[in-house]
Amino acid sequence: MTKQDDFISTVSHELRTPLTSIRGFAQTMLSSWDKIDDNSKKKFLEIIEQQSNRLIHLVENILSVTKIPNEDLVLKKTNINTAIFSTVQILKQKYNTHNIVINSDKTNPEIYADSEKLQQIFINLIENGCKYSEPQTTVTVNTKSDNQYVYITVQDEGVGISEEYADKIFEKFSRIDNPLTSKTQGSGLGLYITKTLTEKMNGEISFKSLEKGTVFELKFPQYNIEDHAKCSVTH
């Protein structure tokens, strides 16, 4: 099978699962309308809505996955702390179940990056930290720098990732079996998108398992004046 066939067959499978469920619940309601009580009807409609949302999210992710390899990023001098603060502000509302803490180096390290895509990276990692950990736990974003690099970590107190999945989690559509993966929605594309974007900005991403939880580590070269001379668009 070529990579393209592989991609199509995975996508078809991912689309078929929610569609089958939507059709199934709609058919049941149509054929047995009078026999189903109102409570069950409401439950069925909730499932249909949930699965439709899952489809929309999936299609959006698939579109961005197909675009990303050819997408041009606009690299500019970008303040890492500003990008983190605005991301965390948005996510604090969405995940008010979790404690999201920023622990940043006040020296405001700057890197050469596309600020919108940088925020997408932080959203993916912080969302994962919240999705794969229990409510009332803490997700911490740390930044520090030396005179060459800026280092950002996103650490959670969640279910953790076994080292054997180290390569797998960054592949398209890979979701790891854990008690929270089946409870949360996801397409398994977030980390693939995150890694691709990070590398397009000359960065690196890796993760480590902790005694309790996971820490994702990002490393970007510090902005330096010679970057001005480089082309501001990377492919």
Ligand X SMILES: Nc1ncnc2c1ncn2[C@@H]1O[C@H](COP(=O)(O)OP(=O)(O)O)[C@@H](O)[C@H]1O
Residues in touch with Mg ion (CB under 5 A): 128, 186, 190
Using CB under 6 A as the binding rule, whether residue 139 contacts ligand X is answered as: no
Contact segment (CB under 6 A) with ligand X among 12-20, 85-93, 185-193, 224-232 equals 185-193
Among 87, 129, 195, 220, binds ligand X (CB under 6 A): 129
> CB count, 10 Å around CB of 216?
24
Half-sphere exposure of 212 (CA within 13 A, CB side): 6
Interatomic CA distance for residues 56 and 110, integer angstroms: 35
Among 186, 196, 200, 203, binds ligand X (CB under 6 A): 186
Contact segment (CB under 6 A) with ligand X among 25-33, 84-92, 179-187, 196-204 equals 179-187
In the bound state with Mg ion, the residue whose beta carbon lies nearer, of 51 and 187, is 187
Let me know: does 76 contact 115? Beta carbons within 8 Å. Answer: yes
With CB under 5 to 8 Å by kind, the binding choice for 84 among Mg ion, ligand X, none is: none
Write out the binding residues for ligand X, residues 196-215 only, by CB under 6 A. Answer: 214
111: closest CA among 82, 143, 78?
Answer: 78
Q: Which two tokens stand for residue 39?
A: 């409570």
x/- contact string, 108-127, with ligand X (CB under 6 A)? ----------------x---
* Cβ 57 to Mg ion shortest distance, Å: 11
Among 152, 161, 197, 201, binds ligand X (CB under 6 A): 161
Secondary structure element (H or E) that encloses residue 9, with its range? helix 3-31
Distance of CA 168 to the CA centre of its chain: 15
> CB count, 10 Å around CB of 145?
19
Among 100, 156, 201, 218, binds ligand X (CB under 6 A): 156
In the bound state with ligand X, the residue whose beta carbon lies nearer, of 109 and 186, is 186
With CB under 5 to 8 Å by kind, the binding choice for 41 among ligand X, Mg ion, none is: none
In the bound state with ligand X, the residue whose beta carbon lies nearer, of 28 and 209, is 209
Interatomic CA distance for residues 95 and 138, integer angstroms: 11
Q: Which two tokens stand for residue 193?
A: 């998108």
* Cβ 117 to ligand X shortest distance, Å: 16
Burial (CB < 10 A; 0-12, 13-18, 19+), residue 218, is buried
Using CB under 6 A as the binding rule, whether residue 100 contacts ligand X is answered as: no
| 235 CB-near residues (< 8 Å, 6+ apart) | 70, 72
- Interacting residues toward ligand X by CB under 6 A: 124, 128-129, 132, 156, 158-161, 169, 174-176, 178, 181, 186-192, 214
